[in-house]
Structure 1
Protein backbone atom coordinates (compact mmCIF):
# COMPACT_ATOMS: atom_id res chain seq x y z
CA UNK A 1 0.00 0.00 0.00
CA UNK A 2 2.80 2.42 0.90
CA UNK A 3 4.56 1.58 -2.33
CA UNK A 4 1.35 2.29 -4.28
CA UNK A 5 0.89 5.68 -2.60
CA UNK A 6 4.51 6.61 -3.28
CA UNK A 7 4.12 5.66 -6.94
CA UNK A 8 0.86 7.62 -7.17
CA UNK A 9 2.48 10.70 -5.66
CA UNK A 10 5.32 10.46 -8.13
CA UNK A 11 2.89 10.20 -11.05
CA UNK A 12 0.94 13.23 -9.83
CA UNK A 13 4.14 15.22 -9.53
CA UNK A 14 5.25 14.24 -12.99
CA UNK A 15 1.81 15.10 -14.39
CA UNK A 16 1.91 18.55 -12.82
CA UNK A 17 5.40 19.30 -14.03
CA UNK A 18 4.57 18.27 -17.60
CA UNK A 19 1.13 19.83 -18.08
CA UNK A 20 0.91 22.85 -15.76
CA UNK A 21 3.06 25.96 -16.20
CA UNK A 22 3.16 27.46 -12.72
CA UNK A 23 5.46 30.27 -13.81
CA UNK A 24 9.08 30.96 -13.00
CA UNK A 25 10.18 32.66 -9.81
CA UNK A 26 12.10 35.28 -11.79
CA UNK A 27 8.85 36.36 -13.46
CA UNK A 28 7.33 37.58 -10.19
CA UNK A 29 7.55 41.40 -9.84
CA UNK A 30 9.92 42.40 -7.09
CA UNK A 31 11.72 39.03 -7.04
CA UNK A 32 14.13 39.57 -9.88
CA UNK A 33 11.76 39.42 -12.84
CA UNK A 34 10.93 43.11 -13.14
CA UNK A 35 13.66 44.09 -15.59
CA UNK A 36 13.39 46.79 -18.22
CA UNK A 37 15.55 48.46 -20.82
CA UNK A 38 17.31 51.40 -19.20
CA UNK A 39 16.31 54.71 -20.72
CA UNK A 40 17.18 58.41 -20.39
CA UNK A 41 15.56 58.62 -16.94
CA UNK A 42 17.64 55.75 -15.59
CA UNK A 43 20.80 57.23 -17.08
CA UNK A 44 20.02 60.64 -15.51
CA UNK A 45 19.53 59.10 -12.06
CA UNK A 46 22.70 57.05 -12.42
CA UNK A 47 24.87 59.95 -13.60
CA UNK A 48 23.38 62.57 -11.26
CA UNK A 49 22.96 60.62 -8.02
CA UNK A 50 24.47 57.15 -8.14
CA UNK A 51 27.90 57.93 -9.60
CA UNK A 52 28.73 60.99 -7.45
CA UNK A 53 26.90 60.06 -4.20
CA UNK A 54 26.13 56.33 -4.37
CA UNK A 55 22.41 57.12 -4.08
CA UNK A 56 19.95 54.79 -5.79
CA UNK A 57 16.39 55.83 -6.64
CA UNK A 58 13.68 53.21 -7.06
CA UNK A 59 10.70 54.52 -8.98
CA UNK A 60 9.45 51.30 -10.63
CA UNK A 61 6.54 50.03 -8.57
CA UNK A 62 7.17 47.38 -5.93
CA UNK A 63 4.44 47.00 -3.30
CA UNK A 64 6.85 45.12 -1.03
CA UNK A 65 8.76 48.37 -0.44
CA UNK A 66 5.67 49.75 1.35
CA UNK A 67 3.19 48.65 3.99
CA UNK A 68 1.10 45.93 2.40
CA UNK A 69 -2.15 47.16 3.96
CA UNK A 70 -1.93 50.57 2.29
CA UNK A 71 -3.43 51.53 -1.07
CA UNK A 72 -0.88 53.60 -2.95
CA UNK A 73 -0.37 54.95 -6.46
CA UNK A 74 2.87 54.51 -8.45
CA UNK A 75 4.85 57.66 -9.27
CA UNK A 76 4.51 59.14 -12.74
CA UNK A 77 7.82 58.88 -14.55
CA UNK A 78 7.70 62.47 -15.79
CA UNK A 79 7.79 63.61 -12.15
CA UNK A 80 10.97 61.73 -11.18
CA UNK A 81 13.60 64.09 -12.62
CA UNK A 82 11.86 67.29 -11.40
CA UNK A 83 11.51 65.82 -7.89
CA UNK A 84 15.05 64.50 -7.58
CA UNK A 85 16.55 67.56 -9.27
CA UNK A 86 14.77 69.82 -6.77
CA UNK A 87 15.91 67.66 -3.86
CA UNK A 88 19.47 67.90 -5.15
CA UNK A 89 19.30 71.71 -5.30
CA UNK A 90 17.47 72.33 -2.01
CA UNK A 91 18.91 69.63 0.25
CA UNK A 92 22.02 68.02 -1.22
CA UNK A 93 23.83 71.00 -2.70
CA UNK A 94 23.19 73.23 0.32
CA UNK A 95 24.60 70.72 2.81
CA UNK A 96 27.57 70.05 0.54
CA UNK A 97 28.26 73.78 0.26
CA UNK A 98 28.30 74.14 4.06
CA UNK A 99 29.75 70.81 5.23
CA UNK A 100 31.58 69.38 2.23
CA UNK A 101 31.36 66.29 0.05
CA UNK A 102 32.81 63.92 2.66
CA UNK A 103 30.15 64.81 5.23
CA UNK A 104 27.33 64.35 2.77
CA UNK A 105 28.61 61.09 1.30
CA UNK A 106 29.06 59.66 4.79
CA UNK A 107 25.65 60.51 6.23
CA UNK A 108 23.23 60.83 3.33
CA UNK A 109 20.66 58.05 2.85
CA UNK A 110 21.65 55.76 -0.02
CA UNK A 111 18.27 54.53 -1.20
CA UNK A 112 15.17 56.53 -2.16
CA UNK A 113 11.82 54.83 -2.74
CA UNK A 114 9.14 56.91 -4.45
CA UNK A 115 5.36 56.70 -4.21
CA UNK A 116 2.96 58.79 -6.22
CA UNK A 117 0.40 59.20 -3.45
CA UNK A 118 0.28 59.72 0.30
CA UNK A 119 0.06 56.88 2.79
CA UNK A 120 -3.09 57.26 4.91
CA UNK A 121 -3.13 56.05 8.50
CA UNK A 122 -6.07 54.73 10.51
CA UNK A 123 -6.16 57.83 12.72
CA UNK A 124 -6.73 60.09 9.72
CA UNK A 125 -3.14 61.35 9.43
CA UNK A 126 -0.95 60.78 6.39
CA UNK A 127 2.63 59.61 6.23
CA UNK A 128 4.62 61.81 3.84
CA UNK A 129 7.99 60.16 4.33
CA UNK A 130 9.93 57.66 6.39
CA UNK A 131 13.58 56.83 7.02
CA UNK A 132 14.91 53.41 7.92
CA UNK A 133 18.25 52.94 9.60
CA UNK A 134 19.64 56.14 8.15
CA UNK A 135 20.01 54.54 4.74
CA UNK A 136 16.56 54.30 3.14
CA UNK A 137 14.06 57.12 2.64
CA UNK A 138 10.53 56.62 1.34
CA UNK A 139 8.91 59.70 -0.22
CA UNK A 140 5.20 59.97 -0.92
CA UNK A 141 3.05 62.41 -2.94
CA UNK A 142 5.53 62.54 -5.81
CA UNK A 143 2.69 63.00 -8.31
CA UNK A 144 1.64 66.25 -6.61
CA UNK A 145 5.04 67.88 -7.10
CA UNK A 146 4.74 71.06 -9.21
CA UNK A 147 7.18 73.99 -9.39
CA UNK A 148 6.74 77.39 -11.02
CA UNK A 149 8.53 76.37 -14.24
CA UNK A 150 5.99 73.58 -14.86
CA UNK A 151 2.91 74.39 -16.98
CA UNK A 152 0.33 73.16 -14.45
CA UNK A 153 1.77 75.16 -11.52
CA UNK A 154 -0.60 77.23 -9.38
CA UNK A 155 0.43 79.46 -6.43
CA UNK A 156 -1.21 77.11 -3.94
CA UNK A 157 1.02 74.24 -5.10
CA UNK A 158 3.96 75.73 -3.21
CA UNK A 159 2.69 74.18 0.03
CA UNK A 160 2.95 70.65 -1.41
CA UNK A 161 6.48 71.28 -2.65
CA UNK A 162 7.62 72.79 0.65
CA UNK A 163 6.13 69.81 2.47
CA UNK A 164 8.34 67.43 0.49
CA UNK A 165 11.44 69.43 1.42
CA UNK A 166 10.20 69.49 5.01
CA UNK A 167 10.05 65.68 4.96
CA UNK A 168 13.59 65.40 3.55
CA UNK A 169 15.05 67.80 6.12
CA UNK A 170 13.10 66.05 8.90
CA UNK A 171 14.37 62.59 7.99
CA UNK A 172 17.96 63.78 7.55
CA UNK A 173 17.69 65.46 10.94
CA UNK A 174 16.86 62.04 12.40
CA UNK A 175 19.96 60.58 10.76
CA UNK A 176 22.12 63.30 12.31
CA UNK A 177 20.78 63.02 15.86
CA UNK A 178 20.87 59.22 15.71
CA UNK A 179 24.56 59.55 14.88
CA UNK A 180 25.32 62.15 17.56
CA UNK A 181 22.56 62.90 20.08
CA UNK A 182 21.40 66.45 20.71
CA UNK A 183 21.83 67.90 24.25
CA UNK A 184 19.61 66.33 26.88
CA UNK A 185 18.61 69.82 28.00
CA UNK A 186 16.44 70.06 24.89
CA UNK A 187 14.08 67.46 26.35
CA UNK A 188 13.43 69.61 29.40
CA UNK A 189 12.17 72.68 27.53
CA UNK A 190 8.66 71.30 26.96
CA UNK A 191 8.70 68.39 29.41
CA UNK A 192 5.21 67.13 30.22
CA UNK A 193 3.60 68.62 27.11
CA UNK A 194 4.26 65.85 24.59
CA UNK A 195 1.20 63.91 23.48
CA UNK A 196 0.14 60.99 21.29
CA UNK A 197 -2.89 63.08 20.25
CA UNK A 198 -0.80 65.62 18.36
CA UNK A 199 -2.95 65.05 15.24
CA UNK A 200 -5.90 66.69 17.03
CA UNK A 201 -3.95 69.89 17.71
CA UNK A 202 -3.87 72.84 15.31
CA UNK A 203 -0.78 74.90 14.48
CA UNK A 204 -1.56 77.85 16.74
CA UNK A 205 -2.27 75.63 19.75
CA UNK A 206 1.12 74.00 19.22
CA UNK A 207 2.82 77.41 18.96
CA UNK A 208 1.19 78.52 22.22
CA UNK A 209 2.96 75.71 24.09
CA UNK A 210 6.33 76.34 22.44
CA UNK A 211 6.22 73.79 19.60
CA UNK A 212 6.97 74.69 16.01
CA UNK A 213 4.40 72.22 14.58
CA UNK A 214 1.75 69.91 16.05
CA UNK A 215 3.85 66.89 15.03
CA UNK A 216 6.69 68.25 17.17
CA UNK A 217 4.49 67.43 20.16
CA UNK A 218 4.67 63.68 19.40
CA UNK A 219 8.05 63.22 21.13
CA UNK A 220 11.48 64.65 21.92
CA UNK A 221 13.21 63.45 18.76
CA UNK A 222 10.49 64.67 16.42
CA UNK A 223 10.42 67.98 18.28
CA UNK A 224 14.13 68.42 17.57
CA UNK A 225 13.99 67.50 13.88
CA UNK A 226 10.78 69.48 13.31
CA UNK A 227 12.72 72.50 14.54
CA UNK A 228 15.48 71.72 12.02
CA UNK A 229 13.16 71.14 9.09
CA UNK A 230 10.87 74.10 9.78
CA UNK A 231 13.74 76.51 10.32
CA UNK A 232 15.41 75.40 7.08
CA UNK A 233 12.33 75.30 4.87
CA UNK A 234 10.65 78.46 6.19
CA UNK A 235 13.88 80.39 6.51
CA UNK A 236 14.82 82.77 9.30
CA UNK A 237 12.05 85.22 8.42
CA UNK A 238 9.46 82.46 8.30
CA UNK A 239 10.52 81.06 11.66
CA UNK A 240 10.45 84.54 13.21
CA UNK A 241 6.93 84.93 11.81
CA UNK A 242 5.84 81.77 13.63
CA UNK A 243 7.29 82.98 16.93
CA UNK A 244 5.78 86.44 16.57
CA UNK A 245 2.36 85.06 15.64
CA UNK A 246 1.76 83.74 19.18
CA UNK A 247 -0.98 85.95 20.66
CA UNK A 248 -1.06 87.36 24.21
CA UNK A 249 -2.63 85.19 26.86
CA UNK A 250 -2.23 81.57 27.92
CA UNK A 251 -2.48 78.17 26.28
CA UNK A 252 -4.90 75.54 27.54
CA UNK A 253 -1.91 74.10 29.40
CA UNK A 254 -1.24 77.41 31.14
CA UNK A 255 1.75 78.50 29.05
CA UNK A 256 2.05 82.26 28.70
CA UNK A 257 2.90 84.03 25.46
CA UNK A 258 6.30 85.01 26.84
CA UNK A 259 7.09 81.44 27.89
CA UNK A 260 6.01 80.00 24.53
CA UNK A 261 8.23 82.44 22.63
CA UNK A 262 11.12 81.78 25.01
CA UNK A 263 10.81 78.02 24.50
CA UNK A 264 10.97 78.33 20.73
CA UNK A 265 13.98 80.65 20.97
CA UNK A 266 15.76 78.22 23.33
CA UNK A 267 15.13 75.41 20.89
CA UNK A 268 16.39 77.54 18.03
CA UNK A 269 19.59 78.31 19.92
CA UNK A 270 20.14 74.62 20.73
CA UNK A 271 19.71 73.59 17.09
CA UNK A 272 22.16 76.26 15.95
CA UNK A 273 24.66 75.27 18.64
CA UNK A 274 24.27 71.54 17.89
CA UNK A 275 25.04 72.04 14.20
CA UNK A 276 28.06 74.21 14.97
CA UNK A 277 29.50 72.13 17.81
CA UNK A 278 28.86 68.63 16.45
CA UNK A 279 28.95 69.08 12.68
CA UNK A 280 30.86 72.37 12.29
CA UNK A 281 28.02 73.74 10.19
CA UNK A 282 26.88 77.36 10.31
CA UNK A 283 23.15 76.69 10.58
CA UNK A 284 22.07 80.19 9.65
CA UNK A 285 24.17 80.04 6.50
CA UNK A 286 22.68 76.63 5.65
CA UNK A 287 19.24 78.10 6.34
CA UNK A 288 19.82 81.01 3.96
CA UNK A 289 21.06 78.72 1.19
CA UNK A 290 18.12 76.35 1.61
CA UNK A 291 15.49 79.06 1.57
CA UNK A 292 17.13 80.74 -1.42
CA UNK A 293 16.91 77.53 -3.47
CA UNK A 294 13.28 77.01 -2.44
CA UNK A 295 12.44 80.55 -3.53
CA UNK A 296 13.98 79.89 -6.96
CA UNK A 297 11.69 76.92 -7.44
CA UNK A 298 8.47 78.46 -6.17
CA UNK A 299 8.45 82.24 -6.41
Structure 2
Protein backbone atom coordinates (compact mmCIF):
# COMPACT_ATOMS: atom_id res chain seq x y z
CA UNK A 1 0.00 0.00 0.00
CA UNK A 2 1.55 3.27 -1.05
CA UNK A 3 1.81 6.39 1.06
CA UNK A 4 -1.03 8.22 -0.72
CA UNK A 5 -3.44 5.31 -0.20
CA UNK A 6 -2.56 5.17 3.51
CA UNK A 7 -3.22 8.91 3.85
CA UNK A 8 -6.60 8.53 2.06
CA UNK A 9 -7.82 5.75 4.38
CA UNK A 10 -6.60 7.68 7.42
CA UNK A 11 -8.69 10.69 6.39
CA UNK A 12 -11.79 8.49 5.92
CA UNK A 13 -11.31 7.05 9.40
CA UNK A 14 -11.01 10.51 10.95
CA UNK A 15 -14.20 11.68 9.22
CA UNK A 16 -16.13 8.60 10.37
CA UNK A 17 -15.00 9.08 13.97
CA UNK A 18 -15.92 12.77 13.83
CA UNK A 19 -19.40 12.12 12.41
CA UNK A 20 -19.98 9.40 14.97
CA UNK A 21 -19.01 11.77 17.77
CA UNK A 22 -21.41 14.46 16.49
CA UNK A 23 -24.21 11.97 16.20
CA UNK A 24 -23.79 10.63 19.69
CA UNK A 25 -22.75 13.71 21.66
CA UNK A 26 -24.06 16.84 19.83
CA UNK A 27 -27.00 15.72 17.70
CA UNK A 28 -30.67 16.33 18.62
CA UNK A 29 -32.37 13.93 20.97
CA UNK A 30 -34.93 12.06 18.85
CA UNK A 31 -37.21 11.84 21.90
CA UNK A 32 -37.39 15.65 22.34
CA UNK A 33 -39.32 17.82 19.85
CA UNK A 34 -37.43 20.76 18.34
CA UNK A 35 -40.71 22.56 17.60
CA UNK A 36 -41.94 24.92 20.29
CA UNK A 37 -45.62 25.77 20.43
CA UNK A 38 -46.65 29.10 21.96
CA UNK A 39 -48.98 28.77 24.89
CA UNK A 40 -52.53 29.93 24.12
CA UNK A 41 -53.56 30.29 27.75
CA UNK A 42 -55.96 33.21 28.02
CA UNK A 43 -55.64 35.86 30.71
CA UNK A 44 -58.64 37.73 32.14
CA UNK A 45 -58.40 40.44 29.46
CA UNK A 46 -58.36 37.87 26.64
CA UNK A 47 -61.50 36.29 28.05
CA UNK A 48 -63.13 39.71 28.33
CA UNK A 49 -62.30 40.45 24.69
CA UNK A 50 -63.93 37.17 23.72
CA UNK A 51 -67.13 38.29 25.43
CA UNK A 52 -67.37 41.84 24.08
CA UNK A 53 -65.79 41.45 20.63
CA UNK A 54 -65.42 37.89 19.34
CA UNK A 55 -68.67 36.30 20.42
CA UNK A 56 -71.10 39.10 19.50
CA UNK A 57 -69.27 40.52 16.43
CA UNK A 58 -66.61 37.99 15.38
CA UNK A 59 -64.02 40.75 15.84
CA UNK A 60 -60.46 40.02 16.95
CA UNK A 61 -59.07 42.81 19.15
CA UNK A 62 -55.26 42.50 18.98
CA UNK A 63 -53.20 44.20 21.65
CA UNK A 64 -50.12 41.97 21.58
CA UNK A 65 -47.45 42.85 19.02
CA UNK A 66 -47.55 40.26 16.23
CA UNK A 67 -44.85 40.55 13.57
CA UNK A 68 -47.02 38.92 10.93
CA UNK A 69 -49.70 41.58 11.46
CA UNK A 70 -47.33 44.55 11.87
CA UNK A 71 -46.18 46.96 9.17
CA UNK A 72 -42.45 46.42 8.69
CA UNK A 73 -42.10 49.83 7.01
CA UNK A 74 -42.21 51.52 10.42
CA UNK A 75 -40.27 51.20 13.66
CA UNK A 76 -43.02 50.32 16.10
CA UNK A 77 -43.39 49.31 19.73
CA UNK A 78 -46.16 47.31 21.42
CA UNK A 79 -49.13 48.95 23.08
CA UNK A 80 -49.15 49.22 26.84
CA UNK A 81 -51.37 46.59 28.41
CA UNK A 82 -53.30 49.07 30.55
CA UNK A 83 -53.89 51.41 27.60
CA UNK A 84 -55.06 48.50 25.47
CA UNK A 85 -57.69 47.73 28.08
CA UNK A 86 -58.87 51.34 27.99
CA UNK A 87 -59.01 51.33 24.19
CA UNK A 88 -60.95 48.07 24.11
CA UNK A 89 -63.59 49.62 26.33
CA UNK A 90 -63.53 52.92 24.46
CA UNK A 91 -64.02 51.37 21.01
CA UNK A 92 -66.87 49.27 22.34
CA UNK A 93 -68.53 52.24 24.08
CA UNK A 94 -67.97 55.10 21.60
CA UNK A 95 -68.18 53.15 18.35
CA UNK A 96 -69.87 49.76 18.45
CA UNK A 97 -72.47 50.67 21.06
CA UNK A 98 -73.23 53.94 19.27
CA UNK A 99 -73.90 52.10 16.00
CA UNK A 100 -75.99 49.55 17.88
CA UNK A 101 -78.21 52.42 19.03
CA UNK A 102 -79.20 53.32 15.46
CA UNK A 103 -78.23 50.58 12.99
CA UNK A 104 -80.35 47.62 11.84
CA UNK A 105 -79.88 44.25 13.54
CA UNK A 106 -76.82 42.37 12.32
CA UNK A 107 -75.23 45.44 10.72
CA UNK A 108 -71.98 45.41 12.71
CA UNK A 109 -71.64 41.64 12.65
CA UNK A 110 -71.76 41.67 8.86
CA UNK A 111 -69.81 44.79 7.90
CA UNK A 112 -67.48 45.96 10.66
CA UNK A 113 -63.77 45.07 10.17
CA UNK A 114 -62.86 41.75 11.76
CA UNK A 115 -59.54 42.80 13.28
CA UNK A 116 -58.61 45.86 15.34
CA UNK A 117 -54.89 46.08 16.11
CA UNK A 118 -53.23 48.29 18.74
CA UNK A 119 -49.71 49.72 18.25
CA UNK A 120 -48.02 51.64 21.03
CA UNK A 121 -45.97 54.12 19.01
CA UNK A 122 -46.87 56.55 16.25
CA UNK A 123 -45.97 55.73 12.66
CA UNK A 124 -44.49 58.39 10.39
CA UNK A 125 -44.20 58.72 6.63
CA UNK A 126 -41.00 59.96 4.99
CA UNK A 127 -42.45 63.47 4.76
CA UNK A 128 -42.97 63.59 8.53
CA UNK A 129 -46.73 63.06 8.40
CA UNK A 130 -48.06 61.01 11.31
CA UNK A 131 -50.12 58.00 10.27
CA UNK A 132 -53.22 58.00 12.48
CA UNK A 133 -54.40 54.59 11.37
CA UNK A 134 -54.44 52.15 8.51
CA UNK A 135 -56.94 49.71 7.05
CA UNK A 136 -56.42 46.61 4.95
CA UNK A 137 -59.08 45.45 2.54
CA UNK A 138 -61.93 46.16 4.92
CA UNK A 139 -60.69 43.43 7.26
CA UNK A 140 -58.33 45.14 9.71
CA UNK A 141 -57.94 48.56 11.28
CA UNK A 142 -54.63 49.43 12.94
CA UNK A 143 -54.55 52.23 15.52
CA UNK A 144 -51.20 53.82 16.42
CA UNK A 145 -49.94 55.95 19.30
CA UNK A 146 -51.85 53.96 21.93
CA UNK A 147 -49.15 54.58 24.54
CA UNK A 148 -50.02 58.30 24.49
CA UNK A 149 -53.71 57.69 25.06
CA UNK A 150 -55.49 60.44 27.03
CA UNK A 151 -58.98 59.31 27.98
CA UNK A 152 -59.85 62.73 29.44
CA UNK A 153 -59.51 64.53 26.10
CA UNK A 154 -62.43 63.74 23.79
CA UNK A 155 -61.03 65.94 21.00
CA UNK A 156 -57.77 63.97 21.03
CA UNK A 157 -59.67 60.67 21.08
CA UNK A 158 -61.55 61.75 17.97
CA UNK A 159 -58.47 63.04 16.19
CA UNK A 160 -56.09 60.16 16.84
CA UNK A 161 -58.40 57.17 16.95
CA UNK A 162 -62.11 57.45 16.34
CA UNK A 163 -62.16 59.50 13.16
CA UNK A 164 -59.85 56.84 11.77
CA UNK A 165 -62.26 54.08 12.77
CA UNK A 166 -65.33 55.87 11.41
CA UNK A 167 -63.43 56.87 8.27
CA UNK A 168 -62.27 53.33 7.49
CA UNK A 169 -65.61 51.75 8.35
CA UNK A 170 -67.32 54.19 5.98
CA UNK A 171 -64.98 53.03 3.21
CA UNK A 172 -66.27 49.49 3.72
CA UNK A 173 -69.85 50.72 3.39
CA UNK A 174 -69.40 52.60 0.11
CA UNK A 175 -67.21 49.82 -1.32
CA UNK A 176 -70.06 47.42 -0.58
CA UNK A 177 -72.83 49.66 -1.93
CA UNK A 178 -71.65 52.77 -3.71
CA UNK A 179 -72.98 56.30 -3.25
CA UNK A 180 -74.50 58.44 -6.00
CA UNK A 181 -72.18 59.68 -8.74
CA UNK A 182 -73.75 63.09 -8.19
CA UNK A 183 -71.32 63.44 -5.28
CA UNK A 184 -68.32 63.09 -7.63
CA UNK A 185 -69.39 66.10 -9.66
CA UNK A 186 -69.58 68.67 -6.85
CA UNK A 187 -65.81 69.20 -6.44
CA UNK A 188 -64.68 67.32 -9.54
CA UNK A 189 -62.13 69.96 -10.62
CA UNK A 190 -60.83 70.75 -7.14
CA UNK A 191 -59.33 67.45 -5.97
CA UNK A 192 -55.54 67.61 -5.65
CA UNK A 193 -54.53 63.95 -5.33
CA UNK A 194 -51.38 63.10 -3.42
CA UNK A 195 -50.43 66.73 -2.85
CA UNK A 196 -53.29 67.22 -0.37
CA UNK A 197 -50.88 67.62 2.56
CA UNK A 198 -49.22 70.77 1.19
CA UNK A 199 -51.84 72.11 -1.23
CA UNK A 200 -53.69 74.30 1.27
CA UNK A 201 -52.98 77.20 3.55
CA UNK A 202 -54.61 77.07 6.97
CA UNK A 203 -58.39 76.98 6.58
CA UNK A 204 -58.35 77.30 2.80
CA UNK A 205 -59.49 73.73 2.14
CA UNK A 206 -62.57 74.36 4.27
CA UNK A 207 -63.36 77.48 2.27
CA UNK A 208 -63.03 75.39 -0.90
CA UNK A 209 -65.67 72.95 0.33
CA UNK A 210 -63.53 70.24 1.97
CA UNK A 211 -64.06 69.31 5.62
CA UNK A 212 -60.33 68.49 5.95
CA UNK A 213 -57.21 68.80 3.84
CA UNK A 214 -57.27 65.04 3.31
CA UNK A 215 -60.81 65.30 1.91
CA UNK A 216 -59.34 67.02 -1.12
CA UNK A 217 -57.36 63.95 -2.16
CA UNK A 218 -60.22 62.37 -4.14
CA UNK A 219 -63.96 61.67 -3.98
CA UNK A 220 -63.95 58.54 -1.83
CA UNK A 221 -61.79 60.21 0.82
CA UNK A 222 -63.99 63.28 0.67
CA UNK A 223 -67.09 61.16 1.22
CA UNK A 224 -65.82 59.22 4.24
CA UNK A 225 -64.10 62.22 5.82
CA UNK A 226 -67.44 64.02 5.86
CA UNK A 227 -69.01 61.14 7.76
CA UNK A 228 -66.12 60.86 10.23
CA UNK A 229 -66.01 64.58 10.97
CA UNK A 230 -69.76 65.10 11.07
CA UNK A 231 -70.40 62.46 13.75
CA UNK A 232 -67.40 63.50 15.86
CA UNK A 233 -68.43 67.15 15.98
CA UNK A 234 -71.33 68.38 18.06
CA UNK A 235 -74.10 70.33 16.34
CA UNK A 236 -72.59 73.54 17.71
CA UNK A 237 -69.04 72.66 16.64
CA UNK A 238 -70.24 71.77 13.14
CA UNK A 239 -72.05 75.10 12.87
CA UNK A 240 -68.82 76.88 13.79
CA UNK A 241 -66.98 75.00 11.05
CA UNK A 242 -69.61 75.99 8.49
CA UNK A 243 -69.29 79.61 9.55
CA UNK A 244 -65.51 79.38 9.12
CA UNK A 245 -66.03 77.81 5.68
CA UNK A 246 -67.81 80.93 4.50
CA UNK A 247 -70.74 81.14 2.12
CA UNK A 248 -69.07 79.23 -0.71
CA UNK A 249 -67.45 76.50 1.35
CA UNK A 250 -70.48 75.84 3.55
CA UNK A 251 -72.75 75.64 0.49
CA UNK A 252 -70.50 73.02 -1.12
CA UNK A 253 -70.22 70.99 2.07
CA UNK A 254 -73.97 71.26 2.60
CA UNK A 255 -74.60 69.89 -0.89
CA UNK A 256 -72.26 66.97 -0.21
CA UNK A 257 -73.77 66.27 3.20
CA UNK A 258 -77.25 66.04 1.69
CA UNK A 259 -76.00 63.14 -0.47
CA UNK A 260 -74.18 61.54 2.47
CA UNK A 261 -77.29 61.66 4.67
CA UNK A 262 -79.55 60.30 1.95
CA UNK A 263 -77.08 57.50 1.19
CA UNK A 264 -76.78 56.31 4.79
CA UNK A 265 -80.54 56.45 5.33
CA UNK A 266 -81.69 54.92 2.04
CA UNK A 267 -78.96 52.29 1.64
CA UNK A 268 -78.13 51.39 5.25
CA UNK A 269 -81.17 52.63 7.20
CA UNK A 270 -78.91 54.76 9.42
CA UNK A 271 -79.86 58.29 10.44
CA UNK A 272 -76.51 60.07 10.68
CA UNK A 273 -77.94 62.73 13.00
CA UNK A 274 -79.07 60.06 15.44
CA UNK A 275 -75.67 58.38 15.17
CA UNK A 276 -73.94 61.68 15.94
CA UNK A 277 -76.27 62.28 18.88
CA UNK A 278 -75.43 58.87 20.33
CA UNK A 279 -71.67 59.41 19.94
CA UNK A 280 -71.82 62.91 21.42
CA UNK A 281 -73.95 61.73 24.36
CA UNK A 282 -71.50 58.94 25.07
CA UNK A 283 -68.50 61.27 24.81
CA UNK A 284 -70.12 63.60 27.35
CA UNK A 285 -70.30 60.70 29.82
CA UNK A 286 -66.78 59.34 29.37
CA UNK A 287 -65.84 60.40 32.88
CA UNK A 288 -68.51 58.06 34.27
CA UNK A 289 -67.18 54.98 32.48
CA UNK A 290 -64.94 52.33 34.01
CA UNK A 291 -62.43 52.02 31.21
CA UNK A 292 -60.20 49.66 33.18
CA UNK A 293 -62.73 46.86 33.56
CA UNK A 294 -61.94 43.42 32.17
CA UNK A 295 -64.93 41.51 33.50
CA UNK A 296 -68.53 41.30 32.36
CA UNK A 297 -70.94 42.88 34.81
TM-score, normalisation: structure 2 = 0.82
Q: Is the 8 A contact 1:56 1:110 kept in 2?
A: yes
Deviation at residue 192 of structure 1 after TM alignment: 1.8
Whether 1:169 and 2:166 are equivalent positions in the alignment is: yes
Larger radius of gyration: 2
Q: Is the 8 A contact 1:198 1:215 kept in 2?
A: yes
Aligned pair partner of 2:184 in 173, 184, 187? 187
Q: Which residue of 1 aligns with 2:205?
A: 206
Per-residue CA deviation, residues 8-44 of structure 1 (Å, 9 max, x unaligned), is 8xx97x95997377xx8855xxxxx443532111111
Deviation at residue 159 of structure 1 after TM alignment: 3.1
Whether 1:275 and 2:279 are equivalent positions in the alignment is: no
Q: Which residue of 2 aligns with 1:287?
A: 276
Per-residue CA deviation, residues 56-87 of structure 1 (Å, 9 max, x unaligned), is 11111123312212111100011122111111
Q: Is the 8 A contact 2:104 2:269 kept in 1?
A: no
Gaps of 5+ in 1: 28-32, 149-156, 247-256
Whether 1:158 and 2:180 are equivalent positions in the alignment is: no
Q: Is the 8 A contact 2:102 2:274 kept in 1?
A: yes
Whether 1:19 and 2:18 are equivalent positions in the alignment is: no
After superposition, residues 1-299 of structure 1 pair within 5 angstroms as 15=22, 19=26, 27=36, 33-35=37-39, 37-148=41-152, 157-163=153-159, 164-195=161-192, 196-200=194-198, 201-246=200-245, 257-297=246-286
Deviation at residue 239 of structure 1 after TM alignment: 1.8
TM-score, normalisation: structure 1 = 0.82
Q: Is the 8 A contact 2:207 2:244 kept in 1?
A: no
Distance 1:112 1:184 in 2: 31
May I ask how many residue pairs the two structures share in their alignment?
269
Shift in alpha-carbon separation, 1:242–1:18, aligned structure 2, 3 A = farther
Select between 234-243 and 50-59 the one with higher mean Cα deviation.
234-243
Deviation at residue 295 of structure 1 after TM alignment: 2.1
Aligned Cα root-mean-square deviation (Å): 2.8
Deviation at residue 240 of structure 1 after TM alignment: 1.7
Per-residue CA deviation, residues 105-163 of structure 1 (Å, 9 max, x unaligned), is 11111111110112111121121112222221111111122223xxxxxxxx4332112
Deviation at residue 298 of structure 1 after TM alignment: 6.4
Gaps of 5+ in 2: 1-10, 289-297
Shift in alpha-carbon separation, 1:262–1:62, aligned structure 2, 3 A = same
Per-residue CA deviation, residues 204-226 of structure 1 (Å, 9 max, x unaligned), is 11101100011111111111000
Distance 2:24 2:279 in 1: 61
